[in-house]
Amino acid sequence: MSTSMSVSVSAPASSSLPPLARRRSPPASRVPFRSLRSLPRLLSSARTLLHPAAAMATDGAASSKRGLLIFDAEEDLAESLAMYTAELSEKFAAERGAFTVVVSGGSLIKALRKLAEPPYLETVDWSKWHVFWVDERVVPKDHADSNYKLAYDGLLSKVPIPAGQVYAINDALSAEGAADDYETILRQLVKNGVLAMSAATGFPKFDVMLLGMGPDGHIASLFPGHPLVNEKQKWVTHITDSPKPPPERITFTFPVINSSAYVAMVVIGAGKAGAVQKALSDKKTSDLLPVEMAVLQDGEFTWFADQEAVSMVRN
Is 10 domain-assigned? no
For 210-223, what is each residue's pLDDT tens digit?
Answer: 999 999 999 999 99
Is 161 domain-assigned? yes
Quickly state the pLDDT bin for 315 (edges 50, 70, 90).
low
Q: What pLDDT score was predicted for residue 46?
A: 59
Residue 168 or residue 59, greater confidence: 168
Quickly state the pLDDT bin for 63 (edges 50, 70, 90).
low
Is 15 domain-assigned? no
Residues 108-124 have a mean pLDDT of: 98
d(CA 78, CA 87): 14
Is 7 domain-assigned? no
C-alpha torsion sign, points 91, 68, 148, 168:
positive
Angle at 87 between CA 76 and CA 152, to 5 degrees: 70
Is 9 domain-assigned? no
Examine the pLDDT at 175 and tell me if it is beyond 50: yes
d(CA 131, CA 168): 9
Contact (Cβ atoms closer than 8 angstroms) between residue 99 and residue 129? yes
Residues 247-261 have a mean pLDDT of: 98
The percentage of residues in the chain with a pLDDT greater than 90, rounded to a whole number, is 77
Examine the pLDDT at 43 and tell me if it is beyond 80: no
Is 174 domain-assigned? yes
> Beta-carbon neighbour count of residue 255 at 10 Å?
18
Domain of 69, in residue numbers: 47-306
Is 29 domain-assigned? no
Quickly state the pLDDT bin for 48 (edges 50, 70, 90).
low
* pTM for the full predicted model: 0.84
Q: Number of structural domains, the chain?
A: 1
Radius of gyration of the chain (CA): 18
Quickly state the pLDDT bin for 314 (edges 50, 70, 90).
confident
Residues 60-84 have a mean pLDDT of: 88
Question: Which residues on neighbouring strands pair with residue 210, listed in sequence order?
Answer: 103, 264
Examine the pLDDT at 67 and tell me if it is beyond 70: yes
Q: Supply the CATH number for residue 263's domain.
A: 3.40.50.1360
Quickly state the pLDDT bin for 47 (edges 50, 70, 90).
low
Is 182 domain-assigned? yes
| Closest C-alpha to 33, from 15, 19, 46, 14 | 46
Q: Establish whether the linkage from the previous residue to 246 is cis, with ω within 30° of 0.
A: yes
